Amino acid sequence: MVKKTSKTIFSCQACGYQTPKWMGKCPDCGEWQSFVEEIRSGKPGQRGRRVLSASQPKPVPIDAVELEPEDRLLTGIREFDRVLGGGLVSGTLVLIGGDPGIGKSTLMIQVLHGIAENGRKVLYVSGEESVRQMRMRSQRLSALSSDLLVVSENDMESILQMAESVKPDVMVIDSIQTMYSPELTSAPGSVTQVRESAMQLMLMAKKTGTPIFLVGHVTKDGAIAGPRLLEHMVDTVLYFEGDRNHVFRILRAVKNRFGSTNEIGVFEMNENGLNEVANPSISFRTP
């Protein structure tokens, strides 16, 4: 008798516990709504017979790994480059967190424009705004460039296909909370969707070497998956902070695999966008 092999498996996204049936709560780690359906391709017996393909990585002696001098991409916004640790390292995933309305989208448009001005092709994916709204903002910030491509999209499958055909040098996802994978049943913004979208983008960044910025809203409401969930997945975490009623904004690195976390960047927000404050001690001095 041939034993029936189940092709569907549910994995807890918090601890990795696997079960053939969906569960609301993980019996191992206690996490709620953490199970995601995963389809196994092929029968288990066939998996062992896979032929090694040329594209598969092969282990190499550690002292034979070639080290090229790190090629960092400059955005042209010095304060930003400095907080990154001296520009953008290829294949990095950078999370930009901050309160809604603090200026994350403004910063991202200005950063992408700076990169596009250096002759690179950049892609801005917004799940929150139409391409017309993006153009209007870009115009107000004097950040129009034909190398800055914009698209309004929430579907991760379509975004990954798009990235594959456009092959941008740098990509922005604004915001990670609005993205969703159609094969997952949970709503955009849920822990499972946010984590899955970030995971797919991370794999893409590592595979293609494209640096990707993820914009994430910090929310006090625990029901919406906040950027803190993503901190361990990304290479760099920058928080954009300030008082919405005042002009000063501070960009702070709280995690950086490619630089120090002691750096901060200071900006001033006005209707033309963010301007660097190169010498904050003068600006902050009381008259």
Ligand X SMILES: Nc1ncnc2c1ncn2[C@@H]1O[C@H](COP(=O)(O)OP(=O)(O)O)[C@@H](O)[C@H]1O
User: Nearer Cβ to Mg ion, position 13 or 105?
Assistant: 105
Residues 106, 126, 210, 236: which binds ligand X (CB under 6 A)?
106
Degrees, nearest 5: CA angle 105-107-111: 115
Residue 89 or residue 173: which is nearer to ligand X going by CB?
173
Give the residue, chosen from 75, 105, 190, 210, that forms a contact with Mg ion under the rule CB under 5 A. 105
Tokens 């801005």 identify what position? 124
Q: In terms of Cα–Cα distance, which of 284, 233, 239, 246 is closest to 265?
A: 239
Pick the piece of the chain touching Mg ion (CB under 5 A) from 81-89, 100-108, 132-140, 261-269.
Answer: 100-108
Q: Decide: is 101 part of the binding site for ligand X (CB under 6 A).
A: yes
Of the candidate residues 95, 102, 150, 212, the single one contacting ligand X (CB under 6 A): 102
Q: Is 177 in the site for Mg ion (CB under 5 A)?
A: no
Please state whether beta strands 72-73 and 18-19 pair in parallel, antiparallel, or not at all (unpaired). unpaired
Cβ neighbors of 272 (< 8 A, separation 6 or more) are 140, 141, 142
State yes or no: residue 178 binds Mg ion (CB under 5 A): no
Residues 29-88 that bind ligand X (CB under 6 A): none
DSSP-derived secondary structure letter, 227:
G
Are 69 and 174 within 8 A, CB to CB? no
What gap in Å lies between CA 198 and CA 214, rounded to an integer?
8
132 binds, options ligand X, Mg ion, none, Cβ within 5 to 8 A by partner type: none
Q: Which residues of the shown chain bind Mg ion in the complex (CB under 5 A)? A: 105
